[in-house]
Amino acid sequence: MTTAIPNKNNKALVLIGLMLGLIFAELDETIVSTAMPTIIKQLHGLSLYGWVAGVYMLSVTLFMPILGKLADLYGRKRVYLTCLALFMAGSIVSGLAHSMPILLLGRGIQGIGAGGLMPLAMVILGDTYELEQRAKIQSLVGPLMILPQLLGPTVGGYLVGHVNWHWVFLINIPVGLLAAAVIATGMRETRGEEKKRIDWAGSATLVLALLSFLMAPVLIDNQGLSWSSPLIIGLLALSAFLVGLLVWIEKRAAEPIIPLHLFKNRTVVVLSLLVFVLMLGIMGGIASFPFFAQNVMGLTPTAAGYLMLAFMAGAIPASIVNGFLITKVPYRTLFIVSFILPIIGFYLLSQLGVGTTVLYVIASFFILGIGMGALFGGDNLIVQESVDKADSGIALSTVQLFQSLGATIGLSIFGSLLANHIKTGVQGMKDQFPAGTSDDIMTGGIPGGLSPSLLEDVRSVFAHAFQNIYGIALGFVIAAFLICWFMKNEVLKKREAETDASEAQAAVSLES
């Protein structure tokens, strides 16, 4: 197997290269979201609007575990650089697109590359830095990924308004080349000569199982289907069958794409369940908040987006503190204490109303951010230190796969719930609206020109709908808090020292 040589790596260059790749991959998502109305208008692709994000997320999720396993087999550097190349290739296709199908093809290629960037970056950091240094660095990575969410609207708006939308994608090329050059220069790996085996049957079955599963929320979002429709039920049943088939294949594979022994590892199982439940419960609620801020609080789109800076203001310092403590205090204790705060945060959000103030929202998101700091500062690190180094790539990718699955399903379910609540509430006063206005309210927000009393009633409907979804999110956060109690009650140990000791003992045994 190919392994990194920490003492020969230029640590500063490796860190800079990884951060460049990660930030711009994340920034691309928010820039593209901002530019999409202009792109759709020029390419006449309104009917395919939702698929632009759907295809990207499908590609990211489908290929994340496969790329993690290939990195374990062929080396982190080689696969990471391949992912950067794929991301740039997809950016070129998207940037030169003159039709929606070509744009979707480019976004799919971009998604494949992006699926390897985050998990492999964490693994490369694990190969390069000692545990204490890595704890501090990784505590910054999670909150740092919020930065693109804040910069994206500004950068996207500038490119669309002052250059043209093609540069939304083409700007990735010079940045990607710089990141690749820095990584290629700063990172060194040894190359094993043993023959590698790829589990093609397992890879194909995994992709088909995930595709069947993830097509359900994508079709619901883009085709107006419900979770009870025969097609959706059929896709979910097919996915369940393919998962069973995957387990059967992996038990017999010489080099399984997802080693089943990972699911005997308590830490991997608990953290996978934790991030799945957490993302399932909170992503939809957080992502939909700007809709509340604009329609109920009357804020501008920009102000609504930047109001969530409060989350980052809480998450960054909490993540840094957890990064320092995780090698000194049992991480179960850190997670249990920290996850009390998201319960408080979502309880406060479940009380949102027509008269909610900006200060109330800032306090709620700040508390929520502090609580989430433990996850940002520790989950990747804990996974890396709980498995053999040879499995660190696929272990991290597996946990992030569950996180991505939870977020994707959560966004769809909560979006549907919110729309249904608003539709039900508005339906009762349909006769009070001007012709066609009620349909606009149920799909696009509150129009102008309504009487003050009617406007107050509509805002109450919106507020009640958000109270319901944040109440449901609160239940998921409580479940995540209970899951934390199943984590190991141990201080994160320096695996490198244990590995060196075992290797030394083996060497002594051979000599004797």
Give yes or no: residues 203 and 190 share one domain.
no
Which of these, 479, 98, 100, 132, lies nearest to 282 by C-alpha position?
A: 479
The answer to whether residue 110 scores a pLDDT higher than 70 is yes
Give yes or no: residues 188 and 322 share one domain.
no
Indicate the pLDDT class of residue 501, thresholds 50, 70 and 90.
very low
pTM for this prediction? 0.76
Give me the helix-helix angle, 331-338 and 340-349, nearest 10°. 20
The whole-number pLDDT of residue 301 equals 63
Q: Which amino acid is at 418?
A: L
The parent domain of residue 166 ranges over 1-198
Give me the helix-helix angle, 11-43 and 147-162, nearest 10°. 50
Give yes or no: residues 291 and 346 share one domain.
yes
Judge whether 269 and 395 are in contact, CB under 8 Å. no
Which of these, 426, 417, 508, 425, lies nearest to 471 by C-alpha position?
A: 417
Residues in the chain: 512
Which of these, 66, 59, 80, 86, lies nearest to 201 by C-alpha position?
A: 66
* Lowest-pLDDT range of 126-140, 291-305, 419-433, 493-507: 493-507
Q: Which of 198, 225, 242 is the last residue of a domain?
A: 198
The answer to whether residue 82 scores a pLDDT higher than 60 is yes
For the CA atoms of the chain, what is the radius of gyration?
A: 24
What would the pLDDT profile of 330-373 be if each residue is shown by its tens digit?
888 888 998 899 999 999 999 988 888 889 999 999 999 888 87
Alpha helices by DSSP H, listed for 307-357, are 309-325, 331-338, 340-349
Measured distance CA(8)–CA(388) in Å, rounded: 22
- Mean pLDDT over 374-403 rounds to 75
Give yes or no: residues 308 and 329 share one domain.
yes
Is the torsion defined by CA of 40, 44, 46, 48 positive or negative? Answer: negative
For 337, the token pair is 């204490």
The whole-number pLDDT of residue 3 equals 54
Give yes or no: residues 176 and 204 share one domain.
no
The answer to whether residue 462 scores a pLDDT higher than 80 is yes
Question: What is the percentage of the chain residues whose pLDDT exceeds 70?
Answer: 77
The DSSP H or E segment spanning 219 is helix 200-223
Matching residue, tokens 């500062």: 377
What would the pLDDT profile of 405-432 be if each residue is shown by its tens digit?
888 788 777 777 877 777 777 776 666 6
Give yes or no: residues 83 and 132 share one domain.
yes
CATH number at residue 277: 1.20.1250.20
The whole-number pLDDT of residue 507 equals 42
Measured distance CA(328)–CA(112) in Å, rounded: 37
Give yes or no: residues 162 and 305 share one domain.
no
Q: Which of 187, 222, 254 is the last residue of a domain?
A: 254
**Secondary structure E strands in 187-293:** 189-190
Matching residue, tokens 């969530």: 308
For 144, the token pair is 């740092």
* Lowest-pLDDT range of 2-16, 60-74, 459-473, 483-497: 2-16
Give yes or no: residues 222 and 194 share one domain.
no
SS (H, E, C) 91-107: HHHHHCCCCHHHHHHHH
Give yes or no: residues 276 and 204 share one domain.
no
Give yes or no: residues 186 and 282 share one domain.
no
The answer to whether residue 202 scores a pLDDT higher than 70 is yes
Report the number of distinct structural domains present in the chain: 3
The whole-number pLDDT of residue 439 equals 56
Helices (H) and strands (E) in the chain, counts: 21, 2
CA 276 to chain CA centroid, nearest Å? 11
3-state DSSP assignment of residue 190? strand
Which of these, 165, 130, 203, 178, lies nearest to 20 by C-alpha position?
A: 178
For 322, the token pair is 């957890």
CA 493 to chain CA centroid, nearest Å? 27
Per-residue DSSP letter, 431 = G
Q: Which of 154, 180, 198 is the last residue of a domain?
A: 198
3-state DSSP assignment of residue 254? coil
Give yes or no: residues 161 and 250 share one domain.
no
Measured distance CA(434)–CA(132) in Å, rounded: 63
The DSSP H or E segment spanning 44 is none
For 53, the token pair is 């994000």
Q: Any bridge partners for residue 4, and if so which? A: 189
The whole-number pLDDT of residue 441 equals 59
Q: Which amino acid is at 291?
A: F
Is the torsion defined by CA of 49, 51, 54, 56 positive or negative? Answer: negative
Give yes or no: residues 126 and 185 share one domain.
yes
